Every structure is written in structure tokens, then in C-alpha cells.
Homo-oligomer: A and B are copies of this chain.
Amino acid sequence: MSFSFRIDAQTGSARLGRMHTPHGEIETPAFMPVGTAGSVKAVPQDTLEDLDAQIILGNTYHLYLRPGHELIRSVGGLHRFMSWERAILTDSGGFQVFSLSDLRKLTEEGVTFRSHLDGSSHLFTPERSMEIQIALGADIIMAFDECTEYPAEESRLRESLEMTLRWARRSHEYFEAHKHEVPWSGEQAGKTQALFGIVQGGMNARLRRESAERTVELDFPGYAIGGLSVGEPREKTLEMIAAALEVLPKDKPRYVMGVGYPEEIVRYAAMGVDMMDCVLPTRAARHGLLFTSEGRLNIKNLRFAQDQGPLDPQCGCKVCARYSRAYLRHLFVAGEPLAAVLNTVHNLAFYLDTMRRVRHAIALGDLSGIVSGNVSMA
């Protein structure tokens, strides 16, 4: 079997699960570090393995533009290209087209956009997104969707939702017809990727439920909740996630895209979300914002100049085991490239440890210490 998901324990709505993919198993709830352009920024692959990252995310938009999906296909797919033998998920490219590119034009066919790199013109359609994602060869790929802007009128949301559903059907059809073209060899030869559907519907709970129902009718092996963290208040995010989760099948993985702060991902896991991804730990690290068991800190703060303590006394990562806050502050202030490396390793360790603790709590049947203790909403 190429893809499967099983739930081993449940506490309240939270689920302890295990996804099986052609490139290994993923314990859920899982946080997926973002490796935009084939690299989790500043972190070598062996360090990601040491951190026990079981799945990372790649961005279809970026990889399509550079180095190009044809090149990646020609070397056997993204796993081989970047020398990462564990699982990968790629997004559909839709979100980046909407957020990064210029002069986009949306039609029933797809989206025409200009590259943020060189201004060249490109067309993404559901079929094209599938073709690219099959060439990249991630274990889990995403249907091509429209991420509706926030705020938006109900009529606009309705229109966008219908478009996303039609695109989901086209994604599904193209994928079924071409899924054996994935450029895998060796142990993965003959296996296929898993295509997930995406729930949209803006900040309207009724439309979210309808989107979820009609996406489920297309029968995907997993479902994402997209279009969140686009500027809405956090209560709205929670409400939309709750609305979609009501409808999504309990025996399939549920993935909230592009979230969040540590306290948020814990909260969402408690609600029954199985997968999350976010650039926050990696991007914040490069800006000196570090997550610790004692809260967030900005490492460039003068009060750390002579602080001989570790970043986070509760953290077992190799950065906290070896380096002082004073040294990390110096590296950041001096613009040393090592700052990005060490800060990112710590932030990822913190996120991955957070999810490990969540899984442990679910197994023990008690999430109260985690959700009430460490979690306050941003």
C-alpha cells in the first residue's frame, strides 16, 4: 500500500496517529518544517534527521521556477535531488501564486502569473500543478485550489469555493490518469503519491462545512483546511477549523495549512488536526525570534549580552546543550551566518518537541497540562 493512516489513540478530539507513506512513517499530530526551495533554510539534512523530522514540505511554485520540475524529475524526484529519504509533501503552488507573483490573471482554466524571480509569464492549471507535483515526486501532494483573499463578500467566497471544487475534480482526474508517472525507483518503484483535497470557504462557517462536504465526495485519502492565517482574528481561525473538522471523515488525516505559533499548533492538535506546517519557526529564527518553554525571546536584546545560560533550559537540542544566549546574541548581532543555522535548529527542535509532547499526552489520555499550561493564544 502506498499510503495509509491509522489512529492508535484518541483523547477528547485529539488523535494519535500514524501515516504510512512510500518514504516512511509519520507520527501524528505532526508539524512539518518548510523546505521551500528544496532546503529547510540553513539546516543540513542530517541535522533534520537528528531532529527527528519525519516529513518536510516543499513549495511547488518555488521548485517549478527554480531549479524546475523537469530537472528534478530527471534526477529521480525531489527526495533524490535533495538527498532526503524521508517523507515530503508539496503544496499545489496556488498559495504562492496568489501571494508572491505579479500580474496574475484568474480564469476557469487556471492562473496566469509572472515569476517573482525574472518576470517571465507562466500558467498554472489543476492539470499543470499535478504534472509538476508528480514530477517532483513528493509522497503527499495537494489539489490545486484558489486561496480566497481576506476579507471577502459571501458572493465572492461562493464563486471561489465552486472554482476550487471544480479544480479539485480536475486535479483528481489528472492525478488518477498520470499517477504512475512519478519518477520513483528502488524501494518506491510502482508506488504512488497521495493526493489530498483542500477545504476553502473563507471565514464563513457554513461555506466551510459545504466545501468540506463536497470535497469529501471526491474521496481523497486526506484533507487540508486551506485559506487560514490570512489576516483573520484567531477566533475566526478556530471557528473555521472546527467547522471543517465537524464534516471531515474521522479516519482520514486532517491538515491545517500554514499554521502557526506553538500555542496554536497545540490547540489545533487538541481539536483533532493531524498535520500542520508553517514557515514561522524557520523564518523567525533568521530574524532572531526564538521560541522557548519560557516564551518567545528576541535574541538581539541587550539583556542577553552576558547571559551564560542556554536559550531554553528545558530544551534538549544541540544548540541549547552547547551554546549560551550571549554567544547566540553575538552571532546574530554580528551577522554571522551561523546565527541562522543555530537559531533555526533550536526553533525546529522546539516545534518538533512540542508535537512530541502533544502525542505523548494523547497517548496518556490527558492533554490538560499541555493545552492549559503552556498555551496562551497569540
| Residues of A near any B CB (own CB < 8 A) | 37-39, 41-46, 66-67, 71, 74-75, 81-83, 286, 305-306, 308, 318, 322-324, 326-327, 330-331, 333-334, 336-338, 340-342
Contact = CB atoms under 8 A, between A and B. Distances in A.
A341 B337 contact: yes
A287 to B, nearest CB: 13
Given A67-B330, A83-B327, A44 B306 contact: no
Instruction: Name the 8 nearest CB pairs between A and B, nearest first.
Output: A42-B337, A67-B330, A39-B338, A39-B336, A37-B334, A83-B322, A337-B340, A41-B337
Contact of A83 (B41, B82, B324, B341): B324
Contacts of A342: 44
Most B CB within 10 A of own CB, among A42, A45, A308, A330: A330
Chain multiplicity (copies) = 2
Contacts of A331: 38-39
Given A38-B334, A38-B336, 16 more contacts: A41-B336, A41-B338, A42-B337, A44-B338, A44-B341, A46-B318, A66-B334, A67-B330, A75-B308, A81-B324, A83-B322, A83-B324, A83-B327, A286-B337, A337-B337, A337-B340
A144 to B, nearest CB: 23
Given A305-B67, A337-B341, A327 B82 contact: yes
